[in-house]
Amino acid sequence: MIGIQKLFQKKEPIAPSIDLERIPAHIAIMMDGNGRWAKKRQLPRVMGHRAGVEAIRDVIRTASDLGVRYLTLYAFSTENWNRPAEEVTALMDLLSEYMKKEIAELHRNQVRVNTIGNLTRLTDKARQDVEAAMAMTVDNTGLCINFALNYGGRDEMVRGINALAQKVQQGELVPGEITEELMTDHLDTRGIPDPELLIRTSGEQRLSNFLLWQSAYTEFWFPEVYWPDFTGKHLIEGIKVFQNRNRRFGGL
């Protein structure tokens, strides 16, 4: 990997083409196309995932520079367990490697590491390294990165509904008292604003079980670029697209 000291190194001024007063507070990214990037270069799929980790660095730096408050990255879905065992193992190892190599620099720059999803199914090593990163950065006040790990929108809602049902069963809650706000408070993203902008790279145009509840009024952008080639400049382009949208939220 590139030395972590380059993560927050200033490269050039933030593009003047966007309004810095209207930066989305929460941007979600589906990091898609790693395998196709590798196939195009006749490389093993794992090399595409490794190249994708490099792309994360520049995107985090840019998001932090712009003042984005939350950046949610779809790193491993509940469906990804269906991939070949060797690829799953490589992804778990890569997750551990990322956390150990990048966490010191992230911490120095006040970035907070958070997760959404069910961590219990991760390998012990991956889970421990992720939990260590969260513990180290828990009090940081800068950009919050939400790594979606073993995450699925439907699974998240089922877990939230089960938690509410248990409260009803215990007499702590009456069914008629369940509101959208209460449901939101029982999701993995409780306390985090809904994403204003969701980006899926590689040109695919579907949600693939990502932030289903939270994306009710999210703006979508589907650039054709594969994730390993995605840079901070692309993120700025996506924000520019977002700022040119007319967000009516059902009104006129």
* 209's tokens: 């079980």
Contacts (Cβ under 8 Å, ≥6 apart) of 249: 217
* Number of alpha carbons in the 13 Å side-chain half-sphere of residue 162: 6
**Which of 53, 92, 93 has the alpha carbon at shortest distance from 73?**
53
At 44 the three-state DSSP class reads coil
Question: What's the order of all strands across the beta sheet hosting 112-116?
Answer: 112-116, 144-151, 70-77, 26-30, 197-200, 219-221
* 140's tokens: 């940081």
State yes or no: is 82 an active-site residue: no
State yes or no: is 80 an active-site residue: yes
Residue count of the chain, please give it. Answer: 252
For the chain, how far is it from start to end, CA to CA, in angstroms?
49
Contacts (Cβ under 8 Å, ≥6 apart) of 240: 15, 17, 18
The catalytically annotated residue of 19, 58, 80, 246 is 80
Longest dimension (CA), the chain: 59
* 50's tokens: 């490794």
**Which of 205, 207, 234 has the alpha carbon at shortest distance from 222?**
205
Residues acting as catalytic residues: 32, 80
